[in-house]
Amino acid sequence: MNLIPVIAFFITNVFTAFTPPAEDGITINITNLRNDKGHVLVSLFKEGEGFPDKAEKAFRKEKAAISNKKAIIQFSSVPGGNYAVAILHDENDDAKMNKTWLGLPKEGYGFSNNVMGTLGPPVFSKARFTHTAGQSTTIEIKTKY
C-alpha cells in the first residue's frame, strides 16, 4: 500500500481546515444585514477618539464582504485597552452613510454592545468594551435599519 497519497490527503485536509482565531485580536460578527449587497465598513475606535462618526480617527478600519446576510472582521495584534466599534452596511459601496431628506439613515448601522443613542449616535462610554492584550475578544453587532 502506498502511504504517500494518504499522508498528503491528511496534511492537506487537516491543516487547511483549521484556522485558529487570532490569539491577540478582536473579532466582530455582524448579523441582521438585510441583504448581501455592498460591504460592511467597520471602524474600531480606541479610547473614544472620533467615535462613532469620524472614521478617519479610528484606530483601525476594515471593509467586510457579506455572505448570507452576515459579515465577520478580525483585527489582529490589538493592544489592550478600551474600544468601541461602529459599522455601516454600505449597500451601494459609496463609502458614506446615505440619508433621507430628513437626515435619517437609509443604510444599516450598528455599534458595539448593540447600543443606540437617544437622538443620534451613542456615546463611547455606552459602546465601550475592554480588550486584554494577548487574548481574543469576540463581539456581535446586530445591524439596525
**Predicted local distance difference test score (pLDDT) of residue 16:** 40
Would you list the DSSP string of 9-62? HHHHHHHHH--PPPTT-EEEEEE--S-S-SEEEEEEEETTTTTTT-GGG-SEEE
Q: Which of 92, 116, 105 is nearest to 35 (CA)?
A: 92
**Predicted local distance difference test score (pLDDT) of residue 119:** 84
Residue ranges for the chain with pLDDT beneath 50: 3, 5-22
**Predicted local distance difference test score (pLDDT) of residue 1:** 52
**Predicted local distance difference test score (pLDDT) of residue 106:** 96
**Predicted local distance difference test score (pLDDT) of residue 25:** 96
Phi/psi-derived region of residue 59, left when phi > 0, alpha when psi is between -120 and 50, beta in every other case: alpha
Structural domains in the chain, CATH included, are: 22-142 (2.60.40.10)
**Predicted local distance difference test score (pLDDT) of residue 24:** 81
Phi, psi of 28 (to 5 degrees): -115, 120
